[in-house]
Amino acid sequence: MKKRYTNLMGKLATGALLALGTMFVTGCAKDAKQDITEDTGEGTRVVIRVEGIENGQGSPALKAKAGSGTASSGNEARLVEGDGFDVFVSQTSQITTQSNLATAKRRTTSNSSNGLRAEAMPDGNAYRVYLRKSGETALVSEPFTSGTVGSIPVEKGASYEWFALSFNSTEEVPAGTDGSVAIDDHSGVLYAKGEFSVPSGDGDVVVPLNVTFKPQLTRVAIEINTMGMFAPIASANVSVRGGYAAPDAINVTTGDFEGTAAPVTVSYADFADVVTGQGDRKVAYVNVAANASENVTVSVTNLIINTDDGNTRNFGEAEMTQTFIPEPGMEQQIVLGFVESPLTTNRNSTVVSWARSNLYYEAGHNPYRFHHTNPYNPDPTTSFFAFRGHLPRVLADANEANQLDPCALVYPAGLWKTPTDVELRSLTSTSGLVLDVLGNILSILFPEPATSGTTFGDNYIQYTGATGANPAYTAATNSLRFNYNGIQTNVSLVSGLVNLSLGRVGEAASLWSSDRVADLAIVEVGAWGYVGATAPAQLGIPPRPARAIAGRSAGVLNIDLLNLGLVGSGFQNVRCTRNSSWNPNAPGYDPMPDLSNL
């Protein structure tokens, strides 16, 4: 019989086809777990053995929707506008959250402790192979065990479709009815299918069939990421809809699960830190019994984060959903990166989306942040920047190629930027010059009428008409408010940390733009910015009450005056704006800011 098998190999090579479950035509199967020459059957037959279990990587299509936002689709990252938050949505075909994966909790939709099995099928596990002639519907099948060669009689000159099913255990796979096979525990379901043709010829023909199984569940890594909210996650509700919590059966000819779809709620306890101790990225694993023809939706509600004042921010029923097409046997990662939503103004024909609070830097994890409560007079050593400087109290490099935009270093990288002069100017009604004494510009501002659309408080100027308010935020962050944190106008030119000597604290708000002054008639070298203040009531004709006034300022710069390679400037706050040219699908884009050259 072995001699007959060897002589037929040339004929068999033209009759064998490859499909989802791999069928190999080889002379001796040297690398096989068992050599099919161990077959002791007789007659024309297909000789079957298990090659192993394949674990692939997928790249499914996705759709995303937050709140009442419009869903979009495609294999790409995007920012989805939500109710009180925006979400940086991305999906990748590989699990990229490497830290703590060994200890992260895994969950299947049947509450089984078994995950997707990636090891080779152990000897003695049961499986069944089903055959039907091409163009026909009747199935014949035989049960087998891995580690042992088996065979099924076939006809010469006929073409067949084949299907293989296993529970990756010693449980025998039933023959089923009309292609439907009942399932008691779907957590280990393995599946394969393909085609082959039987050559015609003298004597018995032996067709070798090596079955490579594929897990039929879709393994989904769900990452909730609040780095763009600058806070650890306190809790969230997560559900997975579109799969089968406990499928009744599987159709062996299609590989589709059968039964009643039911949502699966993922407990917050199922999530583990991606990096230990950094609670702003958490991941959980769900093994979903779902069909490639049916969408699966991951949704997050009741997101609560811990804010920097010791309180929490609760987004309530606001929902973020992502819909994707599952690929059985694939590992798919869904990242829902929650980002603080902006306040948007439309003034002087200029639409700008502003951060709710000023930028500050705190060394360590996720160092570039916005204050959660937009506090008055926070620690100036973390929030006062030089013109085009990316570290507080440190002057910018005189070489523009070495300058970094600190707003672009907020997660996700590049979504925010330092405002342009045009953007800041849309908030102003007058211009002045900031020299070493702030009184120069205040003396220009104070005689002016109120800037339209402004109000004021004890220590801030505030704008009416901005959109984006949400109950999850405070009064100070639901309005575009600039606190009177002061300004340092004297031009410093020293290397390293500069000692701050702020003036007008409680009297003026000051912000940098990203633009240099181009009109050399104004100053020899300067940088545009913003100053806001409350002008006192004035008697006269016409009399003016106390009022908020915002002016365009031009701060003096010294460019490398002492050959230190630095831009000498004063120090002001920075209020970031959204970058309309941000493209998360640019080649090589990484949402993690590059902090290697700070």
Rounded CA gap, 180 and 451, in Å? 74
Contacts of 30 (CB under 8 A, 6+ apart): none
Are the beta carbons of 248 and 261 closer than 8 angstroms?
Answer: no
Residues near 199 by beta carbon (within 8 Å), at least 6 away in sequence: 8, 11, 12, 14, 15, 156, 157, 205
Half-sphere exposure of 85 (CA within 13 A, CB side): 31
Structure tokens that stand for 346 in this block: 């439309």
**Rounded Cα distance, 62 and 564, in Å:** 51
pLDDT computed for residue 106 by the predictor? 39
Residues 6 or more apart whose Cβ sits within 8 Å of residue 124: 145, 146, 147, 170
Residue for token pair 């990229």:
96
- Can you give the pLDDT at residue 448? 79
Determine the pLDDT at residue 73: 34
Could you write out the DSSP letters of every residue in 467-492?
B---TTS-HHHHSEEEE---BEEEEE
Asked whether the beta carbons of 265 and 302 are under 8 A apart, the reply is: no
Q: What local confidence, expressed as pLDDT, does residue 119 receive?
A: 60
* d(C-alpha 588, C-alpha 578), whole Å: 21
The predicted pLDDT at position 349 comes to: 94
Instruction: Kindly report the number of other CB atoms within 10 A of residue 105's CB atom.
Output: 13
- Determine the pLDDT at residue 375: 96
Helix (H, G, I), strand (E, B) or coil at 13: helix
Q: What is the pLDDT of residue 427?
A: 96
Question: Which token pair is 156?
Answer: 């010469």
pLDDT digits (tens, 9 = 90+) for 217-261: 888 899 999 999 999 999 999 998 888 878 999 999 999 999 988
Interatomic CA distance for residues 426 and 25, integer angstroms:
73
pLDDT tens digit sequence for 369-414? 999 999 999 999 999 999 999 999 999 998 999 999 999 999 999 9
Q: Are strands 190-197 and 206-215 parallel, antiparallel or unpaired?
A: antiparallel
- The list of the chain residues with pLDDT below 50 reads 1-34, 36, 57-74, 94-118, 434-438, 520-523
> Is 591 in contact with 412 (CB distance < 8 Å)?
yes
Q: Which of 65, 63, 55, 53 is nearest to 94 (CA)?
A: 55
Residue type, 495: S
In angstroms, rounded to a whole number, what is the distance separating the alpha carbons of residues 261 and 414? 40
In this structure, what DSSP letter does residue 70 have? P
Q: Which helix (H) or strand (E) holds 386?
A: strand 385-386
Give the model's pLDDT for residue 76.
67
Residue 444's H or E segment, with its range, is helix 439-445
- 524 burial class (0-12, 13-18, 19+ CB within 10 angstroms)? exposed
Residue at 293: amino acid letter: S
Give the span between the Cα atoms of 128 and 119, in whole angstroms. 19
193-220: b (≥16 Cβ within 10 Å) or e:
bbebbbbeeeeebbbbbbbbbbbbbbbb
Which residue in 225, 241, 223, 236 sits closest to 319, CA to CA? 236
Structure tokens at 219: 């393994």
Q: Enumerate domains of the chain plus CATH numbers.
A: 45-54+119-215 (2.60.40.2580), 77-95+217-340 (2.60.40), 348-578 (no CATH)
Q: Tokens 């979400």, residue?
A: 87
**Separation of first and last alpha carbons in the chain:** 73
> In whole angstroms, what is the distance from residue 322 CA to residue 240 CA?
10
- Name the residue among 463, 376, 440, 407 with its Cα closest to residue 570: 440
Q: In angstroms, rounded to a whole number, what is the distance separating the alpha carbons of residues 281 and 528?
A: 38
Tens-digit pLDDT profile for residues 313-324? 999 999 998 888
The pLDDT value recorded for residue 311 is 95
* Token pair recorded at residue 503: 């003036």
How many Cβ atoms from other residues are within 10 Å of residue 559's Cβ?
13
